[in-house]
Copies of this chain bind each other. A is one copy, B any other.
Amino acid sequence: VSGEIRYATSIGTSDRDSITLLGHDLATDLLGKIGFSELAFWLIAGRRPTAGQARVFETVLVALADHGLTPTAIAARVTYLSSPDSLQGALAAGLLGGGSRFLGVTEDTGRFLAAAIAELSADGEQLAEWTEGRWDVVAERAVRRQRAIGLVPGLGHPVHKDGDPRTPVIIAIAAEAGVRGPHLLLFEAIGRVHHRVLGKRLPLNGAGVCGAALADAGIPVELLRGVALLARTAGLLGHLSEETRRPIGMEIYRLVEEQADYVDPDPPSGSHP
C-alpha cells in the first residue's frame, strides 16, 4: 500500500476560504486585476508577461482565432449537428485538427527558428544588435539546410500569394512593444533571402510570424501549438454559436455526401489473397 506517492503542482489549490492560482489569491489579487490573455500567458509560460509580451501575445491570439471554414471549423460544425447536446464534444472535435498540418505552422516555424538561433554563439543582447546583413547570412544557411529535408515553415500561403496581411502588422506591433527579438529578426531575414535558395519569392505567412513573435515573447516552443489552440477555441465557439443561430452543418453534410462517387473496391474485395 502507498499513501507515499505524492507529487507537486504550482498551478492552483484552494481551501475553505481562498483559491490560490499561480501563487496569488484569485479573489483579492487577480479577479478584475488581470486580463484573461495575460493570465493565459502566465499559465502557459510559467511566468507573468511584461506589458510588451502581453501585448504581443494578445495580438497573436486575435490573429489566430479564426480563418473561415477550415477543417477544424467543419469538424466542429458537423459534430455539433450530430451531437447538439454536447458542446464540449463539438469543440474538442474541432481542436483535434490542431495538429501538425493546419494549426501546426506556428509551432513548426517557432521550432525551426529556435533551432537555428541555438547554434549561434552569441547571447540575446548581442543578437539584438546584429545587422540585417548578418541575419541574412544565418537565414540563407538555415533555408538551405531546411530545404534539403523538407519545406521551410512559415513561407508561402495558398490564398495570400502576394503577402499575408497579418505579417507586417504583427511585426510592427512586436517592434513597438519591444519584443522584436532574434526569432522575428531571423524570420524577416528569411523573407529577404529565401528566393536566393528557392528561386522564387514566397510571402512570410501569418501563422509563421505568430510563431516567431511568440518565441520572442518567451513562450516555450513546445507550447506554441497550445497558444494556437487557445486562439482557435474562441473561433470555434464563434462557429458553434453561429450554428445555434443559423445552422449550416446539415447543408455541409448533404453537400459532401452528394459530391461523393461511390466506386467499387478494387481489387474485387471478396477475393481472398
Known A-B contacts A59-B31, A69-B9; A244 and B261 likewise in contact (beta carbons under 8 Å): no
Least CB distance from A196 to B in Å reads 25
A residues in contact (CB < 8 Å) with B: 1-28, 30-32, 34-37, 39-40, 42-50, 55, 58-59, 61-63, 65-75, 78-79, 81-93, 95-104, 159-163, 165-166, 169-170, 173, 206, 218, 220, 222-223, 225-227, 229-231, 233-235, 237-242, 244-246, 248-249, 251-273
Known: A48-B269, A83-B88, A89-B92. 13 other contacts (CB 8 A): A9-B261, A14-B159, A19-B206, A22-B238, A42-B238, A43-B241, A44-B234, A71-B253, A74-B74, A75-B79, A92-B95, A223-B240, A227-B237
Least CB distance from A73 to B in Å reads 8
Residues of chain B with a CB closer than 8 A to A46's CB: 241-242, 245, 265, 269
- 23 A-B pairs within 8 Å (CB atoms) are namely A7-B259, A10-B264, A11-B235, A12-B66, A19-B165, A23-B270, A26-B165, A26-B166, A27-B166, A44-B234, A47-B271, A48-B269, A69-B253, A74-B253, A74-B256, A79-B93, A79-B96, A88-B96, A88-B98, A93-B97, A229-B233, A229-B237, A255-B256
Known A-B contacts A21-B66, A46-B245, A254-B5; A99 and B91 likewise in contact (beta carbons under 8 Å): no
Q: How far is the CA of A172 from the CA of B57 in the complex (A)?
A: 29
Contact across chains for A226 and B222 when beta carbons are under 8 A apart: no
Closest chain B residue to A15 by CB distance? B159
Residues of chain B with a CB closer than 8 A to A3's CB: 1-4
Contact across chains for A259 and B5 when beta carbons are under 8 A apart: yes
Residues of chain B with a CB closer than 8 A to A47's CB: 265, 267, 269, 271, 273
Residues of chain B with a CB closer than 8 A to A37's CB: 35-37
Residues of chain B with a CB closer than 8 A to A49's CB: 272
Residues of chain B with a CB closer than 8 A to A265's CB: 10, 22-23, 46-47
Contact across chains for A96 and B90 when beta carbons are under 8 A apart: yes
